[in-house]
Chains A and B, each alone.
Chain A
C-alpha cells in the first residue's frame, strides 16, 4: 500500500485526481448507504414488477409480464395521459406567470432583489399540506372566493370550484411556481447587460431586444424551470386527493392506492417505474435541448 502511495505522490500535485486507497474513507460510507437505501430499494421495485401479487399483499415469486401488459389497458393509459396533460398545463401556466415575475426581479436593485427572492421562497418553506389546505378554505362552496364573488354581485349562487380538475391545476401551480421563478431568475440575472445595451445602441426597440437577446438567452433557465415544475407535478398525489376530491386520478394516486388499498405491490411498482422512466426521458430531452441551446448561442 505504501508503494502505491509513494508512486502516486509525485504525480499528486499536478492532476487533481489521485489514486490508491485515499478516496475510500470519504466515498465508501455514503456510497454504501445510498446503495443499500436507494439503489437496492429502487432495484427491488424493478424486480417485483415482474412477479405476481400475493393474495394478501406482498409478492409471489412467479415470473410474469402481466403488470407491464396491464399498463396498456385503457383505464391506466388514460390515467397516465391525464397526468401528463395536467402536469403540462401546470408547467405552461407556471412559465407564463413565472417569466414576468423573474424578469421583474432581475431588474430590481440588488438590495430589493434579495427581498423579492426571499418573498418568492418563503411560501415554499411553509408546509405543503397547509398550503394545500389553504386552497380548501378559498375554493370551498362556502369559501372566501365564492363569498367575495357573491358579495360583489358577480354571481348569485356559489360556483363549485373545489374538487374539480381546475382546482388541481391551481393547487399544483401554486405549489411549484417558485421552482419556475428561481431558475428563470438565475438565467436572467446572469445575462450580460452589455448585450442588451448593444442591442439598444444598435437601434432595437425594447420589445425587439427582449425577443432577440433576452428571451433566447434565458431559454435554458426556462427549460430547467419547466422540469422543476413538471416532475413533481406529475407524481404528486396529495393535491389531486385533497383539493381534487380524488375524482381526477393521477399516476401518483394510482400508485398509492395499489400499495395501500388494492395491495397489489407488483403493479404499483410497475406504475411507479413507468412514471420514473417518463420523467427521466423528459429530463434527458431537456438537458439535450439545453446543451444545444447553449452551444448554439455560443457559436452564434
Chain B
C-alpha cells in the first residue's frame, strides 16, 4: 500500500518542500475511514469463511480445523437441486434479456428522441423488486399459469432486460456512427447494417450486459420468492429457508464457495472490460 501515498506526496514535495511531512500525515489519515469501511465490509465475510473450516456443529465455538462441511455440502441434495434450478433460471433469463435488451438499446438510441421509451425499458431495474414480484405472482395466477422454473425465467428476464439495455446503451454511445452510415451508403438495409456492422461493435457491451444479467439472476431472491414453485426453489430460496429454520454449518461452506466464485467472476469481468476498453 506504500504506492498509494507516493504520487501525491512527491508532487507536493516539489510544490512546497516545507509542507511535505504534514502532507504525508494527511495522506495517511485520509485512508483511515477507508480501512474502517473495509473492516466493516469484510469482517462478516471473514467470519463466515473461517467458520466454514470449523470442526464443530456449533456455529459459534471454534473446535479446530476441518474440511468436513465441504463434502457434506455437495452431498446435500436440496442445495444441489437448488443450484441446478438457479443455473437454469439464470441461463434462460439471460438468453431472453440479452436478445431483447440489445435490440431495445439499439432501437432506442437510433430511433427515439424522447426519454419515455428509454425510461420504460430501464424501469424494471429501478422498480422495487417486491412490486415486480407480487405483480407477476398476481398476473400468473390470473392466467392460471402454474408456477415453476418457467415463470421464474420470465420474471427474471424482466429486470435482466433492463440491465442489458442500460449497459448496451452506454456502449452505443461510444461506437463510431460513420461506419453505419458507410454501410447504409453502400446499400445495406437497417437489419443488415445492424447484423454486420453494429453488432460486432456492440459485442463487448452485450457480453458485459449478459454477464451482469446472469450474476444478478443467480443472486435474485425476492422476485424468485414470489414467482417460483416451493417445490422448485432456486439456491437463494434454499439458503433463505436454511437460515430461517436453524442454520447448519454447511451454509458457511456454501457461502465460502459462492464468495470464491464471485471473486473470480468480478476479476474476470474486470479483465474483460479492460481488454475491450483498449479497442475503443
Cβ of B64 within 8 Å of any chain A Cβ, yes or no, is no
A-B pair number, CB within 8 angstroms:
249
Bound complex: CA A273 to CA B106 (Å): 32
Contacts of B254 in A (CB 8 A): 130
Contacts of B240 in A (CB 8 A): 129, 238
Q: With A40-B139, A111-B3, A130-B254 in contact, do A100 and B34 touch (Cβ < 8 Å)?
A: yes
A45 touches B134 (CB 8 A): yes
- Which residue of A is nearest B184, CB measured? A12
Bound complex: CA A135 to CA B44 (Å): 6
Cβ of A86 within 8 Å of any chain B Cβ, yes or no, is no
A16 touches B161 (CB 8 A): no
Bound complex: CA A120 to CA B34 (Å): 10
A133 touches B221 (CB 8 A): no
Cβ of A58 within 8 Å of any chain B Cβ, yes or no, is yes
Contacts of B131 in A (CB 8 A): 42, 45, 235, 272-273, 275-276
B33 touches A37 (CB 8 A): no
Count B-side interface residues using an 8 Å CB cutoff. Answer: 93
Task: Describe A's contact surface by its main secondary structure.
Answer: helix
23 contacting pairs across A/B (C-beta < 8 A): A13-B181, A25-B191, A29-B103, A30-B121, A30-B161, A31-B120, A34-B161, A37-B157, A42-B135, A98-B37, A100-B33, A111-B3, A112-B1, A120-B41, A127-B239, A130-B251, A137-B47, A137-B59, A137-B60, A143-B60, A252-B130, A255-B134, A283-B126
Binding site for A on B (CB under 8 A): 1, 3-4, 6-8, 26-27, 30-31, 33-34, 37-38, 40-45, 47-48, 51, 59-61, 96, 99-101, 103-104, 106-108, 110-113, 117, 120-121, 123-124, 126-132, 134-139, 141-142, 154-155, 157-158, 161, 165, 181, 184, 190-191, 194, 215, 219, 221-222, 226, 235-236, 239-240, 243-244, 247, 251, 254-255, 258-259, 262-263, 265-267, 270
